[in-house]
A and B are shown apart, each in its own frame.
Chain A
Amino acid sequence: MYKDSATFIHQNSHDPTVLDKTLKREIKLARNIQLQLLNGKTPVFEGGEVSGSSIPARLIGGDYFDFYPLVNGKIRIVVGDVMGKGIPAAMLMILTRGAFRSAAETTKSPADTLKSMNQALYDDLRTLKSFVTLICADWDPKTYELTYANAGHTLPLYIKGKEKVVEELPRVKGIMVGGLPNQVYHNQTVHLDKQDIIFFYTDGIIEAQNNSSEQYKLHRLIAALLENKQNSVSEIEKNILASIEDFTEGAPQRDDITMVLLKIGEQEAEISSLNSPVMK
């Protein structure tokens, strides 16, 4: 009979040291899976750049972001936050990712994607007494239009490249995925200009706490974004994380932190069927 390490562990299942080691190894493997799925390929396209990053509060987490290049040259972006933290949230995050990938392929707009995801996930999320907040957006490099729909998520910030202004994107209502069945979501569209930035994020950023239990809050995030708006998306990302780390002074991270940036370039996009977004 074939025996592997798992067989050995099963036979020693009463030994707490062996169990502890097994658990640690499996959580580490789960973390690797999640990090690889989250930090996969990023779309490269003319006329702008996108980037995303996620740092779980524990070894694994429930935040989620993804990019999906559409055949019409648009890029579909999603950012989500599964209720809770740790392993249970991470399992539901994987479920959410599957639902997004499947819905993005077959739906025409962000609102349709969220509707399809809610239909796919509602029963499971209710059974598990959980929910996911999601924001989904399509960036069209040809028309400079960002169309988005919201399922209970914090609205992204809009940093105007030519002005010293940061504001929330116009509000669009929609309840979290897993809250009620048969939900209809609505699209909202904004026209972006060169150098504009859209900052999608989860609340772990503004609720990050220092050792005096003060929160990072929106005003510090806005200040950090204004200070960095001339930088590339990866530099902005790095500097925002550094700003949060400076503020929290090594206090334990309470919630998962996720951000996705879309920055419109200086150059006009010359989109043809040959230079649609590619994943790199």
Chain B
Amino acid sequence: MLTIEKEVQNVTAILKIKGLIDITTTNIIDLYMEDIGNVETVLIDFSSLEFIDSTGIGSIMNAIYLSKEKNFKLKLQGIDEITNEVFETVGLYDILEAFDGEVI
């Protein structure tokens, strides 16, 4: 199960992820991203993420590509050690960096 809390502060949209990002839930994050609105920064907070699979990583990649299309800066935060290892292994941070995003 995945729930996303969206909060907009000035020109920053914060998406707080709670639960699992897998093949059954990625459409939720994709919808939030498509409907992100006119913001300068999108911050995805993974502090309450329980599990992410390859489809979930695909969704985060889509968010990175969307950041260029919709001209916002993507920031990721609250990534735990296990997820960090997975993101590092697949090269997600390299893609984020190539699109001017950052991990905070």
- Asked if B23 and A131 sit within 8 Å, CB to CB, the answer is no
Chain B's closest residue to A175 (CB) is B91
Docked Cα-Cα span, A154 to B92, in Å, equals 14
The stretch among A22-30, A32-40, A68-76, A77-85 that forms the contact with chain B is: A77-85
How many Å from the CB of A220 to the closest CB on chain B? 16
- Asked if A179 and B91 sit within 8 Å, CB to CB, the answer is yes
Q: Main SS of chain B's interface residues?
A: helix
Contact of A152 among B23, B53, B65, B90 (CB under 8 A): B90
The stretch among B1-9, B34-42, B54-62, B71-79 that forms the contact with chain A is: B54-62
Docked Cα-Cα span, A154 to B90, in Å, equals 8
Is residue A56 contacting chain B, with contact meaning CB distance below 8 A? no
Is residue A153 contacting chain B, with contact meaning CB distance below 8 A? yes
Chain B's closest residue to A177 (CB) is B91
Contact with A along B84-104 (1 / 0, CB 8 A): 000001111011001000000
How many Å from the CB of A126 to the closest CB on chain B? 8
Contact of A154 among B58, B89, B95 (CB under 8 A): B89
Q: A84-B55, A255-B53 are known contacts. Are A129 and B62 too (CB-CB below 8 A)?
A: yes
Docked Cα-Cα span, A126 to B94, in Å, equals 16
Is residue A188 contacting chain B, with contact meaning CB distance below 8 A? no
Contact with B along A130-162 (1 / 0, CB 8 A): 110100000000000000000111110000000
**A residues near B55, Cβ cutoff 8 Å:** 83-85
Docked Cα-Cα span, A179 to B99, in Å, equals 11
- Asked if A179 and B58 sit within 8 Å, CB to CB, the answer is no
**A residues near B98, Cβ cutoff 8 Å:** 180
Docked Cα-Cα span, A207 to B94, in Å, equals 24
- Asked if B95 and A179 sit within 8 Å, CB to CB, the answer is yes
- Asked if A152 and B58 sit within 8 Å, CB to CB, the answer is no
Contact of A176 among B23, B53, B62, B91 (CB under 8 A): B91
- Asked if A129 and B58 sit within 8 Å, CB to CB, the answer is yes
- Asked if A152 and B95 sit within 8 Å, CB to CB, the answer is no
**B residues near A130, Cβ cutoff 8 Å:** 58
Docked Cα-Cα span, A131 to B57, in Å, equals 9
Is residue A52 contacting chain B, with contact meaning CB distance below 8 A? no
How many Å from the CB of B60 to the closest CB on chain A? 11
Q: A83-B58, A84-B55, A255-B53 are known contacts. Are A180 and B95 too (CB-CB below 8 A)?
A: yes
Docked Cα-Cα span, A49 to B32, in Å, equals 50
- Asked if A85 and B90 sit within 8 Å, CB to CB, the answer is no
**A residues near B57, Cβ cutoff 8 Å:** 83, 131
- Asked if B54 and A180 sit within 8 Å, CB to CB, the answer is no
**A residues near B90, Cβ cutoff 8 Å:** 131, 133, 152, 175-176, 179
**A residues near B92, Cβ cutoff 8 Å:** 179
- Asked if A81 and B91 sit within 8 Å, CB to CB, the answer is no
Contact of B61 among A131, A155, A174, A207 (CB under 8 A): A131
Chain A's closest residue to B65 (CB) is A126
- Asked if A174 and B58 sit within 8 Å, CB to CB, the answer is no
Docked Cα-Cα span, A41 to B95, in Å, equals 37
**A residues near B65, Cβ cutoff 8 Å:** 126
- Asked if A84 and B54 sit within 8 Å, CB to CB, the answer is yes
How many Å from the CB of B31 to the closest CB on chain A? 14
Pick 6 A–B contacts, CB within 8 A, sort by A. A81-B54, A84-B58, A129-B58, A130-B58, A155-B89, A175-B91
B residues sitting closer than 8 Å to A (CB atoms) are 23, 53-55, 57-58, 61-62, 65, 89-92, 94-95, 98
- Enumerate the 10 nearest inter-chain pairs by beta-carbon distance, A residue then B residue, closest first: A175-B91, A152-B90, A83-B54, A83-B58, A152-B91, A84-B55, A175-B94, A176-B90, A179-B95, A176-B91
